[in-house]
Chain A
Amino acid sequence: MEEQRITKHPILNRREGKKIHFSFQGKTLDAYENEVIASALFAHGIHCFGKHAKDDSFQGIFCANGQCAQCLVLADGIPVKSCVTPVHEGMKVEFMEGHAPLPEDDTPVAAGKIEEIAVDVLVVGGGPAGLSATMEMAKYGVSILIADDKQSLGGKLSLQTHNFFGSTRECYAGTRGIDIGEHLAQSVMQYPNVTVWLESPVVGVFVDGKVGIMHKQDYCLVKPKVMLVAAGARERNLTFSGCDLPGVYGAGAFQTLVNRDLILAAKRLFIVGGGNVGLIAAYHALQAGIEVVGLVEAMKECGGYKVHLDKIKRLGVPVFTSHTILKAHGKDQLDKVTIAAVNDKFQAIPGTEKSFSVDTLLVAVGLASVNELLLKAWEYGLKAYGAGDADIVAEASAAMFSGKITARHILQDMGMTVFIPEEWKSMVETLRNRPGKLHKKASSPEQKLYPNIFCLQEIPCNPCTDVCPMNSISTEDHSLMGIPQFQDKCIGCGRCVSICPGLAITLVDKGYDPEGKTALVTLPWEIGEDILKPGETVITCKLEGEELGKGKVIAIKNSSWQDRRKFLLVEVPAEEADMVAGIRMPLLEKPPKAEQAQEPGLKDEEIIVCRCQRITKKDIVDLIKDGTRDMNSIKATLGCCMGPCGGKTCEELSMKIFREQGIEPRQIAKHVVRPFTQEVPLKAFLGKE
């Protein structure tokens, strides 16, 4: 089988490095050195990793983040999470079936010692918030340890191939997430008082003020004066029939496989959720050459930025608003999804069911703070702060700012005289803003050459206003949330086209055709240059993806302002030029085929809520109907929250079921969270020899 790797990507470089060999079920396969087992298996088209001990249900990737244990495999006889365990030369990987026997290795273990260190500040998570905070604190000489569970710094920035929104001056707007992450990482590494531990998840906070960290293979105890939790967010989840099938997973997991590991994780993809995460995932999939068969959003409108939505609609992704996912079908992995329209109460309307064949379904229904360490630290009386998504879920630009502000709070707490500028506070509020009002598009100017701006929704973003060498683009009162307007001179440099994170600016040149019949429209293009050729005819689209007409590709040019975004020059009829906002992606010119489907009503006993312990919705509903109002009782009776993930998905889903049953959150006792935040090999507690 051909390797399922992405070898051409418009933004990312192809993966290079030494190849090694490992085996899966006795068959020799290759992998890149340091590649995690899950990605190496995906690269060979293996998506199903095991069977659950309780009911033999098939298991595969779910979080791709070391948080759950759905991707367990046996590696050299030991169960490991394949998504975080690097494969090594000669590793024997096996399908996980039932509980593994404890290897009969009876050699004694020599005495060891656990390293204990003291630091001023322990930063949990080296993403946008943690890195920004570290930079701010490092200047003041405090000793900082950043513990991050990944192989490199940057957090989720490392997965974001798109240009960031926000303010150019304050938070790198117009720069790609991957590049921001890289820049922040390099900046913090310059400080001698900053220590970075990679592949080092923080696993527990204890009442004696010590924090347990798995520093690679070694368990260490760190005693910080202050702990800053900048651990980001985890994906919220959804329960539906088949939600636990291999092939159904989070958009974050998808980005990890595709954008970090350059794995062609899917061929045909469906997405649930029209927030920014879902919309961006669709775009990332298209960049990777994956067909996006559709996206459902239960609300009447998608909640993400309109520019993100319009962008994927123009490329040809069908977006079904007021629709929900009913069922994921398949035996050992997903092969079909069924969706349906919903009424005002978000209930599926019988008769509106449609099915699509797909191999992957992404769930992108929002994010929740990873704050259990923070809450525990507070409970135990440790000095601790939260920043970024671990504090309030918002865009990465807001996380960077919140990191800076929190850093100053910590410095103040340590007795230093630092101030927190008022404008920082207002900036973080602005960056956290939900999209605001929609405006009408301004009429085109009476000139031959001008930028055509399709950015009509108030969002915190201003790179186009900063980048124009003629200062011809501005927002009202220079507000970050304002709608950019063009006025005055345009020299056709295309900087605005190449920087706009929303890909919402084109350049119209009506002087192109001396006869005035056609015009040349320059479109931003970052889907891959080899899928279009000069001379080819493409379908042009209006703002929201409505087909407009035909255009001819004149050229695909590099932009000198943005290394990985191209200018796509398309010749269109002059009268259509102002309406051309984009083109259909050739892959999506024909809409995907939907089958009419009939789904019987959802059965609660079919829906898995706790994937670790295989607890169904019916199990939980029965307890609630029986009078249970305590998550701890659900935990005790059913085993929810007591699996390897410790309730990271099922607690919230259970709370949702409570609400569905008419029980208010205040009536429900929350479950008690205990160490460890993820499972730890016992060996680690024996210390280093």
Chain B
Amino acid sequence: METYDVIVIGAGSVGSPTSYFLAKNGLKVLCLEQFPSSGQGQNKAAIGGVRATHSDPAKIKICQKSLEIFSQWKDLTGTDIGWKKGGYCFPVYEDREEKILKGLLPIQKKYNLNIDWIDAEKMKEVIPGINPERLRGGTLSPDDGQVSPLKAINSFVHEAQKKGAKFLFQSKVVALKTDQSRIVSIETEKERFSAGIIINAAGSEASEVCKMVALDIPVNPDCHEAGISAPIAPFLDPLVVDLRPGVEGKTANFYFGQNSEGQIIFCYTPQPPILGTNRHSTSEFMPIIARRLVDLIPRFKNLTIRRVWRGLYPMTPDGVAIVGKAPKIENFYLGIGMCGQGFMMGPGVGANLASLVTQGKSLLEEDVFKLLSPSRDFYAKKEILK
């Protein structure tokens, strides 16, 4: 039975950068992935927005770390992962959204987030062609940005391999064997391994992995659809989030941006949430999102739509990710429940988990990191800028 320092379950948005940071710290790392290559779970469904603009301090800090990693990646490795520092923008038309966003500014600023309220005139410059009627302004966080999830994950894997990490594909973990409070072996359908530390980064299937060691951690996926246009000349810098619920009664909010290739990439949050793991496209998505897009930016009517898809948001009850040492099992760590933000959180989570494993503590202040704790009460509060 081959032995590793750390075994990471899942070569997705979280597992891949985690493997990279562990290998970078000199550990002998094995990453087990059920699919034939990395990022074939929910990573490839991500639209690639990366923001530190959250309401939860831990998420702000984690994503600031991610932004640092993504923005420096090309200089560090020479690989272009489509990083575009265009910021995140929340345009506001109604009282409700103005109150929510303005109410969050103090805590966001407290954690050094570069964010400000901008007026309607400025908003019209930031989002060319935005519907000006009743536009109040909104927030802009210029340090946020976008990355290609597909390119980024491949690069994390590639760099991790260069640092000695081993990736085994088509290797679905089927069992974790424990001896008292320790995992002593990890089994795929074909092989068995052991490791000092096991990290669960299994995305939408994280709960199932926890159950293998009798841990009940509530991570339940819901389904979101997304789409992408043909490229157009660059005109939109930030990723835009419109927090208004849709008049059609089926969307809680929607978001979109123009990626580094010039394509408009977009998604909405279904209201009510569609629970489950169905990843097949529906006929409903495009008509709903098209209407929302042109209502906000009428010139989008001349876009050409190339492709749609559907991915899963592994949700936690409070909308906050679960990162840290698992309860009860002493060599088991979790980087799960990313609530659809695994891609933007991934590198930050990976860097923190690597620090936790090698240094015994995360990169964040302890009381901030605790907000992500796997031992917390998952039903105590709800994150606002989910």
Q: Do A and B bind each other?
A: yes
- A114 / chain B contacts, CB cutoff of 8 Å: 287
- Cα distance, A683 to B302, chains bound together (Å): 6
Which one of A106, A636, A683 has the highest number of Cβ atoms from chain B below 10 Å of its Cβ? A636
- Quick check: A109 and B294 within 8 Å, CB to CB? yes
Closest to A669 in B: B36
In whole Å, how far is A671's beta carbon from the nearest beta carbon of chain B? 11
- Which residues of chain B are within 8 angstroms of A98 by Cβ–Cβ distance? 233
A 636-672 contacts with B by CB, 8 A: 636-637, 642, 644, 646, 669
Chain A residues with CB under 8 Å of B303's CB are: 102, 681-682
B182 contacts the other chain (CB 8 A): no
Residues on A with C-beta less than 8 A from B307 are 642, 646, 674-676
A105 at interface by CB-CB < 8 Å: yes
Task: Chain A residues near B299: list those with CB within 8 A.
Answer: 102-106
Cβ–Cβ < 8 Å partners of A380 in chain B: 280
Binding site for A on B (CB under 8 A): 35-40, 44, 128-129, 131, 150-151, 153-154, 169, 229-233, 235, 262, 278, 280-284, 286-287, 289-291, 293-295, 298-309
B44 contacts A99, C-beta separation under 8 Å = no
CB of A102 within 8 A of CB of B233, answer: yes
- B232 in contact with A100 (CB, 8 Å): yes
Asked if residues B151 and A106 are in contact (CB atoms below 8 Å), the reply is no
| Chain A residue with Cβ nearest B228 | A642
Sample 27 A-B pairs with CB under 8 A, ordered by A number. Answer: A100-B233, A101-B235, A102-B129, A102-B235, A103-B299, A104-B129, A104-B299, A105-B298, A105-B299, A106-B129, A106-B298, A107-B298, A114-B287, A204-B283, A206-B282, A206-B283, A630-B36, A632-B36, A633-B36, A635-B150, A642-B307, A644-B230, A679-B230, A682-B293, A683-B301, A686-B290, A687-B287
Our pick among B232, B283, B286, B305 for the contact of A102 (Cβ within 8 Å) is: B232
Tell me the minimal C-beta distance from B329 to chain A in angstroms: 32
A632 to B11, CA, bound (A): 14
Which residue of A206, A629, A635, A679 contacts B281 across the interface (Cβ within 8 Å)?
Answer: A206
Please count how many residues in chain A sit with their CB below 8 Å of the partner chain's CB atoms: 51
Q: How far is the CB of B343 from chain A (nearest CB, A)?
A: 13
Q: Which of B39, B231, B262, B281 lies in contact with A204, CB distance below 8 A? A: B281
B44 (CB) vs chain A CBs: closest residue: A636
Of B129, B150, B154, B302, the residue contacting A682 (CB under 8 A) is B302
- Chain B's nearest CB lies how many Å from the CB of A382? 11
Residues in B whose Cβ lies below 8 Å from that of A101: 232-233, 235
**Which chain A residues numbered 69 to 98 have a C-beta less than 8 Å away from chain B?**
69, 78-79, 98
Closest A residue to B150 by CB, please name it: A636
Residues of B within 8 A of A69 (CB): 230
Q: Which of A204, A207, A637, A686 contacts B151 (CB 8 A)?
A: A637
Instruction: Tell me the bound Cα distance from A382 to B68 in angstroms.
Output: 47
Contact A207 B294 (CB under 8 A): no
Q: Across the two chains, which residue of chain B brings its CB closest to A114?
A: B287
A676, B302: Cβ atoms closer than 8 Å = no
- A499 CB to nearest B CB, Å: 48
Residues of the B chain whose Cβ atoms lie less than 8 Å from the Cβ of A78: 302
Instruction: Give the distance in Å from the alpha carbon of A683 to the alpha carbon of B286 in the complex.
Output: 11
CB of B303, distance to nearest CB on chain A (Å)? 4
Q: Which residues of B contact A106 (CB under 8 A)?
A: 129, 298-299
B301 near A682 (CB under 8 angstroms)? yes
Whether A636 contacts B151 by the Cβ 8 Å rule is yes
The 9 closest A-B pairs by CB, nearest first: A636-B150, A207-B280, A633-B37, A685-B290, A630-B37, A630-B36, A669-B36, A206-B283, A210-B283
A103 and B302 within 8 A (CB): yes
Q: How far is the CA of A679 from the CA of B263 in the complex (A)?
A: 13
A126 within 8 A of B: no
From B290, which residue of chain A is reached at the shortest CB distance? A685
Q: Are A679 and B300 in contact, with the CB atoms below 8 A?
A: no
Known: A633-B154, A637-B154. A680 touches B131 (CB 8 A): no
Say whether A600 faces chain B, with CB atoms less than 8 Å apart. no
> What CA separation (Å) do A674 and B279 show in the bound complex?
11
In the docked arrangement, what's the CA distance between A685 and B283, Å? 10
Q: Which single member of A107, A212, A679 contacts B306 (CB below 8 Å)?
A: A679
The complex places the Cα of A69 from the Cα of B307 at a distance, in Å, of 14
Residues in chain A near residue B293, CB distance under 8 A: 682
Q: How far is the CA of A103 from the CA of B44 in the complex (A)?
A: 30
Contact call A632/B44, Cβ cutoff below 8 A: yes
Q: How far is the CA of A219 from the CA of B287 in the complex (A)?
A: 9
What separation, in Å, do the CA atoms of A633 and B278 have in the docked complex? 22
Instruction: Decide yes or no whether A221 CB sits under 8 A from chain B.
Output: yes
CB of A53 within 8 A of chain B? yes
Name the A residues within 8 Å of B289 (CB-CB): 685
Chain A residues whose CB sits within 8 angstroms of the CB of B153 once the complex forms: 636
Query: Roughly how many angstroms separate A78 CA and B308 CA in the complex, as a whole number?
Result: 22
**A105-B302, A114-B287, A206-B280 as given contacts; A674 in contact with B309, CB under 8 Å:** yes
Q: Does A23 contact B (CB under 8 A)?
A: no
Distance in angstroms between the alpha carbons of A644 and B230 in the assembled complex: 7
Q: Are A679 and B233 in contact (CB under 8 A)?
A: no
Give the chain A neighbours of B35 by CB distance below 8 A.
630, 669
A674 to B225, CA, bound (A): 12
Contact code string A556-596 (vs B, CB < 8 Å = 1, else 0): 00000000000000000000000000000000000000000
Quote the shortest CB–CB distance from A235 to chain B (angstroms). 22
Q: Which of B153, B154, B304 has the most CB of A within 10 A?
A: B304
A628 interface contact, C-beta 8 A: yes
Tell me which of B44, B283, B299, B307 has the highest count of chain A C-beta atoms within 10 A of its own C-beta: B283
Asked whether A208 is an interface residue with its Cβ less than 8 Å from the other chain, the reply is yes
Given A102-B235, A633-B37, verify A208-B284 contact (CB < 8 Å).
yes
Q: Name the residue among B151, B284, B299 with the largest chain A CB count within 10 angstroms.
A: B299
CB of A537, distance to nearest CB on chain B (Å): 58
* A633 contact set on B, CB distance < 8 A: 36-40, 154
Task: Evaluate contact between B40 and A680: CB separation under 8 angstroms.
Answer: no
Pick the contact of B232 from A99, A379, A629 — CB < 8 Å? A99
Cα–Cα, bound, A674→B226 (Å): 11
Alpha-carbon distance A636/B45, docked complex (angstroms): 11
| Cβ contact within 8 Å between A636 and B39 | yes
A99 to B262, CA, bound (A): 8
- Is A108 an interface residue when CB atoms closer than 8 A count as contact? yes
Tell me, rounded to whole Å, the shortest Cβ–Cβ distance linking A437 to chain B: 44
Residue of A nearest to B291 (CB): A686
Candidates A208, A644, A679, A686; contact of B282 at CB < 8 Å: A208
Alpha-carbon separation in the docked complex, A100 to B304 (Å): 11
Give chain A residues whose Cβ lies under 8 Å from the Cβ of B291. 111, 685-686
Question: In this complex, what residue of B is CB-closest to A687?
Answer: B287
- Are B37 and A685 closer than 8 Å at their CB atoms? no
Q: A98-B233, A100-B232, A101-B235 are in contact. Are A109 and B151 (CB under 8 A)?
A: no
In the assembly, what is the distance between CA of A379 and CA of B289, in Å? 25
Mark interface residues in A203-216 (1 if CB within 8 Å of B CB, else 0).
01011101010000
Within the assembled complex, what's the spacing in Å between the Cα atoms of A221 and B283?
8
Chain B residue with the shortest CB-CB distance to A223: B283
**Given A102-B232, A208-B282: A682 touches B290 (CB 8 Å cut-off):** yes
Complex: how many Å from CA A111 to CA B169? 48
Docked CA distance A579–B308 (Å): 62
Complex: A425 Cα to B283 Cα, angstroms: 37
A108 CA / B301 CA spacing, docked (Å): 9
* Residues of chain B with a CB closer than 8 A to A644's CB: 230, 306
Could you tell me the distance in whole angstroms from the C-beta of B152 to the nearest C-beta in chain A?
10
Tell me how far the C-beta of B356 lies from the nearest C-beta in chain A, rounded to whole angstroms: 29
* A686 cross-chain contacts in B, Cβ below 8 A: 287, 290-291, 294, 301
Q: Whose C-beta in chain B lies nearest to the C-beta of A101?
A: B233
B282 touches A79 (CB 8 A): no
What residues of chain B lie closer than 8 Å to A79, measured between beta carbons?
230, 304
Roughly how many angstroms separate A683 CA and B229 CA in the complex, as a whole number? 12
Complex Cα distance, B35 from A629, in Å, reads: 11
Closest to A203 in B: B305
Query: Which residues of A332-386 have CB atoms within 8 Å of chain B's CB atoms?
Result: 379-380
Complex contact A629–B37 (CB within 8 A): yes
Mark contacts of A237-258 with chain B using CB atoms, 8 A cut-off: 1 yes-contact digit, 0 otherwise: 0000000000000000000000
Residues of B contacting A206 with CB < 8 Å? 280-283
